[in-house]
């Protein structure tokens, strides 16, 4: 298991990669990791993910109370609810990669039936209902997605990916954006045939054999919204502004 200081460095590195790859602009996006003791490290509000210092990261209890200094983004609500609802995940990445975010603006899932990589890795990238940023509407809209998906769109907003560790969550973000980009080019070229049933069966078998897919036992969203609201209300210095979303 990685140490806290290794995880802090990894979060900063993922932030740099998101920024270098234009998956976030200005102070957009958030990254969080659940540590072995259950506490959560997350990115602070109002900081570009391309220029974070490891000591700036904020530490929270599982229900969202602040441990130590810093100001978490109001979008930490989303991350806390994801950790609560899915026992198998230890990292959440939220970004605004342009192609996938365009699908989010249209309320359309990212197509996953043209490329083997995205089909095997994610199977589906659904789109959640619209929610006002920084409010409990965001986790409320997101939690149903986690029943079956490890990556999903926030309507008119961006992308969320989760993983057993930070790198898995981050690579899923790359996969979503790559899939959205290729699907856009396919549409520009006049379309392509999707996988047939036999191909889908074979791809599903690869996923099963690779241990991918959400296991029903890992998804327990009951009480997660209430728990997050309660803990968050006791954190005095968080940010409710519109930045760092
Ligand atoms: Zn956002």
Per-residue confidence (pLDDT) for residue 38, from 0 to 100: 95
Contacts of residue 189, Cβ cutoff 8 Å, sequence gap at least 6: none
CA of 109 to the centre of ligand 1 (A): 17
Query: How many whole angstroms from 94 Cα to the centroid of ligand 1?
Result: 6
What pTM was estimated for this model as a whole?
Answer: 0.94
Q: What is the CATH number of domain 4-233?
A: 3.40.225.10
CA of 245 relative to ligand 1 center, distance in Å: 4
Task: Tell me phi and psi for residue 81, to 5 degrees.
Answer: -65, -35
Asked if 11 and 31 count as a contact pair (C-beta separation under 8 A), the reply is: yes
Ligand 1 centroid to residue 237 C-alpha, Å = 20
From the CA of 133, how far away is ligand 1's center (Å)?
8
Extract the tokens encoding 176: 């979503």
**Mapped to the 3 state alphabet, what secondary structure does 223-245 carry?**
CHHHHHHHHHHCCCCCCCCCCCC
Q: How far apart are CA 72 and CA 38, in angstroms?
A: 17
CA of residue 197 to ligand 1 center, whole Å? 35
Distance from the alpha carbon of residue 200 to the mean position of ligand 1, in angstroms = 32
CA of 78 to the centre of ligand 1 (A): 10
Length, in residues, of the chain = 245
Distance 95 CA to ligand 1 centre (A): 6
Tell me the C-alpha distance between 97 and 180, whole Å.
Answer: 9
Q: What letter would DSSP give residue 60?
A: E
List the domain boundaries for the chain: 4-233
CA of 115 to the centre of ligand 1 (A): 26
Angle at 106 between CA 105 and CA 111, to 5 degrees: 110
Please report the pLDDT score of residue 104 as a whole number. 98
| Per-residue confidence in pLDDT tens, the chain, 245 aa | 789 999 999 999 999 999 999 999 998 999 999 999 999 999 999 899 999 999 999 999 988 889 989 998 888 999 999 999 999 999 999 999 999 999 999 999 999 999 999 999 999 999 999 999 988 999 999 999 999 999 999 999 999 999 999 999 999 999 999 999 999 999 999 999 999 999 999 999 999 999 999 999 999 999 999 888 877 766 544 544 444 45
As a whole number of angstroms, the distance between CA 21 and CA 17 comes to 6
- 92 beta partners: 32, 162
Strands 151-154 and 158-163 turn out to be antiparallel
- State the distance from the centre of ligand 1 to the C-alpha of 134, rounded, in angstroms: 9
Ligand 1 center–CA 28 separation, angstroms: 6
Cα dihedral sign, 204-209-210-211: positive
- CA dist 126 and 146 (Å) reads 10
């Amino acid at each position: 298991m990685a140490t806290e200081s290794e995880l802090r460095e990894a979060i900063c590195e993922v932030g740099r990669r998101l920024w270098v790859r234009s998956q976030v602009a200005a102070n957009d996006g958030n990254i969080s990791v659940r540590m072995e003791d259950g506490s959560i490290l997350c990115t602070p509000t109002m900081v570009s993910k391309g220029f974070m210092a490891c000591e700036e990261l904020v530490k929270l209890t599982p229900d969202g109370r602040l441990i130590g200094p810093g100001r978490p983004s109001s979008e930490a609500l989303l991350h806390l609810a994801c950790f609560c609802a899915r026992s198998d995940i230890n990292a959440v990445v939220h970004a605004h990669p342009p192609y996938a975010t365009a699908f989010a603006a249209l309320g359309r899932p990212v197509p996953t039936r043209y490329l083997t990589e995205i089909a095997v890795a994610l199977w589906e990238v659904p789109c959640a209902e619209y929610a006002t940023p920084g409010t409990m509407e965001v986790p409320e809209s997101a939690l149903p997605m986690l029943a079956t998906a490890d990556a999903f769109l926030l309507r008119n907003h961006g992308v969320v990916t989760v993983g057993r560790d930070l790198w898995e969550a981050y690579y899923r973000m790359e996969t979503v954006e790559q899939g959205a980009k290729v699907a856009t080019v396919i549409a520009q070229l006049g379309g392509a045939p999707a996988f047939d049933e036999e191909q889908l069966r074979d791809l599903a078998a690869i996923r099963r054999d690779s241990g991918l897919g959400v296991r029903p036992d890992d998804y327990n969203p009951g009480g997660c919204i209430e728990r997050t609201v309660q803990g968050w209300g006791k954190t005095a210095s968080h940010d409710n502004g519109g930045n760092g979303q």
